[in-house]
Structure 1
Amino acid sequence: MALRRMLHFVFKVGDRAKTATFYRDVLGMKVLRHEEFEEGCKATCNGPYDGKWSKTMVGFGPEDDHFVAELTYNYGVGEYQLGNDFLGLTLQSSQAVSNARRLGWPLTQVEEALYLTHAPGGYPFYIVDKDQPPHDPVQKVSLGVSDLHKSTHYWATLLGMTVMDKKENNKTVLLGFADSQCKLELRDVGGAVDHGTAFGRIAFSCPREQLPSIEALMRKENQKILTPLVSLDTPGKATVEVVILADPDGHEICFVGDEAFRQLSAVDPKGNELLDKAMAEDKSDEWFAKHDKQKAAA
């Protein structure tokens, strides 16, 4: 399944300005593209919301060969409750450690050369204090599971990932589609997985021709399909096809046709400028303050 690749994790953010500071100034990621939408996504990319929202892709390099973050912002929603589903994103960058220290961004040393920090909203990030590698600095995404054996079967046998490492004692399994890609770590949380209201989503690409067979396999195995094969239009860009699944713990998984996605995900040199413009034009914080109200909590 080497033709499949890990693409991004979707984070719901309540404060775009603080979030932009974290990804751009602390981690050192770049804005790859930014889009504004007037109504909710057909594939619920922004969650169960129908209103205006935005999507910002950030990463250390193009989505063609880097694992990136998709930041979705729903206008009018100021915070999301975290669960124990997303357990962290690990990246290697001594520059990010020094950026955090310089900016006074909280860092906790977990072990030698490994630090824990948090994105706005509370999402955990682990930073390995070593030089940034020439390829993608993002090493792995960690998700909580309630039954490691069942989850390993789902991700390896049904979705075709390779088990790259298994630690029985601390109940973790590391999987991937290729050595050169970001990995997925499954960690047994010793009980039910709670997605809170921030429930994320992990995305993969595969050749477009594989999408119907992925859906058919999930039907045959009585696994959950959240969104059957659907086409998503982005004005002025490629139309992509996606299938959205849920694993045994309800982790949302999006498979997208690779050929069209590579066109859709081309880096927009104006991405940074578009994000800054959108944040400057978003007067929602001022409106809520003026009317002595608080933004909704999801």
Structure 2
Amino acid sequence: MSSLSATLNLLRPSLAPPPPSLRFCDVRNSASSYCTSRRLALFHLGSALPQSQLLVAKASELLRGERNTLEAAPVANLAQAGTAITKENALEWVKNDKRRMLHVVYRVGDLNKTIKFYTECLGMKLLRRRDIPEEQYSNAFLGYGPEDSNFVVELTYNYGVDKYNIGTGFGHFGIDVEDVSKSVELIKAKGGKVTREPGPAKGGSTIIAFVEDPDGYTFELLERGPSPEPLCQVMLRVGDLDRAIKFYKKAFGMELLRKRDYPEYKYTYALMGYGPEDKNPVLELTYNYGITDYDKGNGYAQIAIGTDDVYKSAEAIKLYGGKIVLEPGPLPGINTKITACLDPDGWKSVFVDNVDFMKELE
């Protein structure tokens, strides 16, 4: 078992073998084999299990020796990187860090069916696809432009699992289209499910519609002009909007682009991102009056964000109330540096070293 697999096992509540998409290739495989499965930890950290299981830190006593060894490594990495920062300079560093949203990762029950829907109905392009039978999973990357410059989706299919619980916390993905009505007509013609017919948004003038993909994930279609980032939103529900805004501003370095309250509909939302919403994907955080906790299900996994320094990113996250669930450091075999964290509501994000990420795409 590789050290990465052991690390991931420590996050599980039992000694059962790790699920398909959490296993790393055998260390005897060639470098090209590592490239084939290079996202196993990077973006599949959490792509096969319910989030509640992944966050259980209690490991078996039989793994105590391995755990002690594994836990020592991040400490050494942090010491070597010299990343001790204080609140006084963390905020400035975070704002100056070169960050962008890279991927959003979630699980689907039929990869072929979902790819067909995304390409034929939503106009996405299939960028890459992998089938790893020895690891019992397949995945695909789809979007409206190349991964080195665009925000894309990463779909994971775990062999034998055809249904996931999306939960009540995940909201929707947003897509900019030039004509919502025409898009809806196409989706209907292809057998897609429309859950909200085209019309003005509540309290606004933007024409929108809602559709569901084959797994029940909701997509909001927004009628706007041509956009460099048509995949424009990920909406998540939170229990304390002011707390969430503060966290994403300080720990993630995002800007508060918009905040609107709709008392007649009993909700408030905020758009957070790394630049203007007409040119960049945004995180839409929604607070529904009186609801402080949500079922996150086991379908949605995480967002991946690029950073110049995963060590400093982890330290800043700790300073501002986040929880590190994977200490920063290089992944075994591929040396890509990552760290994973939870926000105050329990939503997970993975930070990925920018230079390492670009090398992987090569």
**TM bucket normalised to smaller:** 0.7 to 0.9
Distance 1:130 1:185 in 2: 17
What is aligned with 1:276?
Answer: none
Does residue 75 (structure 1) correspond to residue 159 (structure 2)? The answer is yes
1:105 to partner: Cα distance: 1.5
Match of 1:144 among 217, 230, 237: 237
Contact 1:91 1:137 in 2 (8 A): yes
Separation in 2 of the partners of 1:129 and 1:152? 26
CA distance in structure 2 between the aligned counterparts of 1:130 and 1:221, rounded to whole angstroms: 35
- Give the corresponding residue for 2:295: 194
Aligned length in residues: 249
Q: Which structure: larger Rg?
A: 2
- Matching residue of 1:295: none
Structure 2 stretches lacking a partner, 5+ long: 1-94, 201-206
Q: Which runs of 5+ in 1 are unaligned?
A: 40-50, 267-298
Distance 1:78 1:221, change over 3 A: same
Equivalent in the alignment of 2:191:
104
Q: Cα offset for 1:65?
A: 2.1
Q: Percent identity?
A: 30
Q: Could you say if the C-alpha distance between residues 230 and 98 of structure 1 is closer, same or farther in structure 2, counting changes exceeding 3 Å?
A: farther
> What value does the CA root-mean-square deviation take over the aligned residues?
2.1
Amino acid at match of 1:14: G
Q: Which moved more, 1:95-104 or 1:75-84?
A: 95-104
User: How far is the alpha carbon of 1:110 from its aligned partner?
Assistant: 5.2
Relative contact order, higher structure (CA 8 A, sep 6+): 1
What does residue range 1-298 of structure 1 map to in structure 2 within 5 Å?
Answer: 1=95, 3-37=98-132, 51-93=135-177, 94=179, 96-107=183-194, 108-109=196-197, 111-112=199-200, 113-130=207-224, 133-169=226-262, 170-179=267-276, 180-189=279-288, 190-207=291-308, 210-221=309-320, 223-232=322-331, 239-265=335-361
Structure 2 residue matching 1:244: 3-state secondary structure: strand
Could you tell me which amino acid in structure 1 is paired with residue 216 of structure 2? G
SS at match of 1:194: coil
Which structure carries more helix by proportion?
Answer: 2
SS in 2 for 1:65: coil
Shift of 1:219: 3.4
Q: Hey, what's the Cα distance between the residues in 1 that align with 2:131 and 2:359?
A: 18
Q: Which amino acid aligns with 2:348?
A: E
Q: Counterpart of 1:109 in structure 2: which amino acid? A: E
- TM-score, normalised to structure 2's length? 0.64
> For the Cα contact (< 8 Å) 1:165–1:173, is it kept in 2?
yes
C-alpha contact 1:57 1:71 (8 A) present in aligned 2: yes
Please tell me whether the aligned partners of residues 31 and 57 of structure 1 are also in contact (alpha carbons under 8 angstroms): yes
Native 8 Å contact 1:12 1:200 kept in 2: yes
Runs of 4+ that moved beyond 6 A:
none
Distance 2:259 2:223 in 1: 24
Following superposition, the deviation at residue 257 of structure 1 comes to 0.7
Residues 229-276 of structure 1, C-alpha deviations (whole Å, 9 max, x = no match): 243368xxx64221100011111101101112123235xxxxxxxxxx
